[in-house]
Structure 1
Amino acid sequence: MAPSHISFLLLVLLLANKVVAKVPAVIVFGDSSVDAGNNNQIPTIARSNFQPYGRDFTGGKPTGRFSNGRIPTDFISKAFGLKPTIPAYLDPSYKISDFATGVTFASAGTGYDTATSDVLSVIPLWKQLDYYKDYQSKLRAYQGGNEANETIKEALHMMSLGTNDFLENYYSTFPPSGRSSQYTTSQYENFLIGIAGKFVKELYQLGARKISIGGLPPMGCLPLERTSNIMAGSGCISSYNDVALEFNNKLNNLTVSLNKELPGSRVVFSNPYFIFLHMIRKPSSYGFEVTSTACCATGMFEMGYACNRNNMFTCSDANKYIFWDSFHPTEKANQIVSDHLLKNVLAQFL
């Protein structure tokens, strides 16, 4: 069965059994994996609101999504019977009536650690929470207090971040990271876990009850990291993948403790690691042909402004590639990961 049909069939089966979808909105926090254009509205170089980004999006429009098309939360929103794309909160072309069924506060380049967001002057996680509070006020004015409170309670709140904390901060050599001199890798993981736990508790205090914490992908296999791994023949950096596995295990343990601590909450761990790794190891099983380099430009190190529309090396068919640029998946890969998470984790909210 083609992966693209999984979420659709899942919905059909649920509806056949008269299970009513109970998620009125998808509310998103995170980094470039789920930013739909918030960075377009702030002074940062971490942008993708130009071609060839978005060339396979509706109308071929570069929206600020770091992909050739849709990102995971877009597919998840559609699978829940909501709109096919989730808009960015700072996008002036949308208003609260659009955000009522889904909104993303995510900012490309950010992380759990505020020091990570400082690297590219993007929106830190605490500021995303401020925007969420502002959103709640507008939602109550739009829907009325009781309905808005119910929307918030039943909405699926999704978090997707952490990769930048390691690759753009902790392991950074240009400039050197202060965090690597302050913490061992394990200590830094625990530092981030503390921030993640505190953030979930703040969401809970604001009325959220359904919360998905996203894990890290095999970050040592991103084209940018493989390009730098010359001594190993441009293979995946295994030490980075090991850190991702360790951190994911701690995130999973965090969800267990949070569910015990927060009455009435349903906190889940959405882990993209193994489906990503399987795509990379068995690309033909998913219709992919290229795993080590990306579609954009040479596919080795370009992302953001380095991915310009005139680069003669940019591939013609992104569906053959797992990665769109050196850091981000193609729309096809995003859909496969989303369908996997829907089937294995998020179906319980349908």
Structure 2
Amino acid sequence: MGRFRTTVQALLAVAASIVTTSAIGVRPGQIKNLVTFGDSYTDVVFVWDGGDPWPVYTSRYAHLDLIPFARSGATCSNNITFRPFPSLFESQLPEYFSQKGSLRLAPQETIYTLWIGTNDVGANALLTGNDDASIVDVSACMVNWVKALYESGARNFLFQNMIPLQTVPMYSPNAYFNRFWAEERNATAWSVFMTELVLSGNAITKLMLEALAPKLPGAHIGLFDSHALFTDMFKRPSLYLNGTVPLNVTGAVNSCVFELHGSSSNCVVISGSAKDSYLWWDELHPSEQANRIVAREMAASIQGKKTRWTTWLS
């Protein structure tokens, strides 16, 4: 058993070395167009952060043309975790393919991003039970987004993994009845299970992306570690938040405490520059200031700059 473990560790080290030495990413000044897919964390139509969403900031910071397809409420596929919203595979990708000819995006000058999973693993999906799907199915679906776009001619990808959802007010151990869930539940159990779902899903997608990268000639695949970034923002908010009231990583700018079954609510909305002291906009979504940080780091990655949050796999 000891020799087997040593051999496996050696092989993993070699594989990691191969990925590291061959991963060059995109070149500075190469990317001109940003095409986004995902859920409410990326939607630029129904915005959930009290201001401008991160893709808008990223397009400004990196001087990019933004072509957005992300839609609020989305999962990767309604055939895996059904929700009555425009999913990635049944709605967003078909919409992109229908417009592809008129968009005329040069493959080498265009980067595609995906940030999804919050709805897939959340309430009314994997967290509360789905007999027909698992986190493995959801992860495979996410990675298949790269394959589908590559086969259509896309070559540059930036994959954003799931944030530590157990730290958002909705899924924290101290969660209260809110606009997203006003029914009985064991908040501690939800938080523990959410931690496992997110960590497992992120680990699986990373392994799948690492296995996929060598099979796609000419592709550049980057993994943006949203989980690590938000973990750092949660633990060291003074490095990221800059509002005019004490920094807050457990509450929300726009919070609504509901009674059981949502019969009534008590809502509080923080205004002005104080908003930038908060990590969360509401019980589920990052604040505008948090999204400015995401945008800054995404822009740096897209511009070919070195950032601790992005690893290029090819």
TM-score scaled by structure 2?
0.73
5 Å-filtered alignment, 1:1-350, equals: 21-37=29-45, 64-82=46-64, 101-115=65-79, 118-119=82-83, 121-126=84-89, 127-139=91-103, 148=104, 151-171=106-126, 173=128, 177=129, 179=130, 181-183=131-133, 188-226=134-172, 227-228=174-175, 237-287=191-241, 289-298=247-256, 313-316=268-271, 317-343=274-300, 345-348=301-304
- Superposition deviation, residue 296 in structure 1: 0.5
Aligned equivalent of 1:7 = none
8 Å contact kept, 1:116–1:169: no
User: Aligned letter for 1:296?
Assistant: N
Q: Are the structure 2 counterparts of residues 132 and 117 from structure 1 closer, same or farther at C-alpha, using a change threshold of 3 Å?
A: farther
What's the C-alpha RMSD, in Å, of the aligned pairs?
3.1
Identify which range, 72-81 or 217-226, moves more after superposition.
Answer: 72-81
8 Å contact kept, 1:160–1:213: yes
User: Which runs of 5 or more structure 2 residues have no equivalent in the other structure?
Assistant: 1-26, 178-184, 307-314
Q: Are the structure 2 counterparts of residues 262 and 327 from structure 1 closer, same or farther at C-alpha, using a change threshold of 3 Å?
A: same
Distance in 2, Cα, partners of 1:169 & 1:113: 14
8 Å contact kept, 1:109–1:164: yes
8 Å contact kept, 1:224–1:301: no
User: Aligned letter for 1:247?
Assistant: G
Q: Which has the higher contact order (CA 8 A, sep 6+)?
A: 2
SS at match of 1:211: strand
SS at match of 1:297: strand
Aligned equivalent of 1:41 = none
User: Aligned letter for 1:152?
Assistant: P
8 Å contact kept, 2:121–2:198: no
Q: Are the structure 2 counterparts of residues 163 and 301 from structure 1 closer, same or farther at C-alpha, using a change threshold of 3 Å?
A: farther
- Superposition deviation, residue 235 in structure 1: 11
- Superposition deviation, residue 271 in structure 1: 1.2
Distance in 2, Cα, partners of 1:124 & 1:239: 24
Distance in 2, Cα, partners of 1:233 & 1:34: 27
Distance in 1, Cα, partners of 2:268 & 2:114: 34
- Superposition deviation, residue 110 in structure 1: 0.8
Q: Are the structure 2 counterparts of residues 236 and 340 from structure 1 closer, same or farther at C-alpha, using a change threshold of 3 Å?
A: farther
Distance in 2, Cα, partners of 1:301 & 1:118: 26
Q: Are the structure 2 counterparts of residues 233 and 224 from structure 1 closer, same or farther at C-alpha, using a change threshold of 3 Å?
A: closer
Residues 180-217 of structure 1 deviation map (CA, whole Å, 9 limit, x = unaligned): x335xxxx121112212322111001110001111000
8 Å contact kept, 1:220–1:241: yes
Q: Are the structure 2 counterparts of residues 243 and 280 from structure 1 closer, same or farther at C-alpha, using a change threshold of 3 Å?
A: same
Residues 122-151 of structure 1 deviation map (CA, whole Å, 9 limit, x = unaligned): 112122111111221222xxxxxxxx25x2
SS at match of 1:259: helix
8 Å contact kept, 2:62–2:302: no
- Superposition deviation, residue 327 in structure 1: 0.8
Distance in 2, Cα, partners of 1:255 & 1:328: 26
Distance in 1, Cα, partners of 2:126 & 2:165: 12
- Superposition deviation, residue 245 in structure 1: 1.9
Q: Are the structure 2 counterparts of residues 218 and 106 from structure 1 closer, same or farther at C-alpha, using a change threshold of 3 Å?
A: same
TM-score scaled by structure 1?
0.66
User: Which runs of 5 or more structure 1 residues have no equivalent in the other structure?
Assistant: 1-18, 38-63, 83-100, 140-147
Identify which range, 206-215 or 106-115, moves more after superposition.
Answer: 106-115
User: Aligned letter for 1:30?
Assistant: G
Structure with greater strand percent: 2
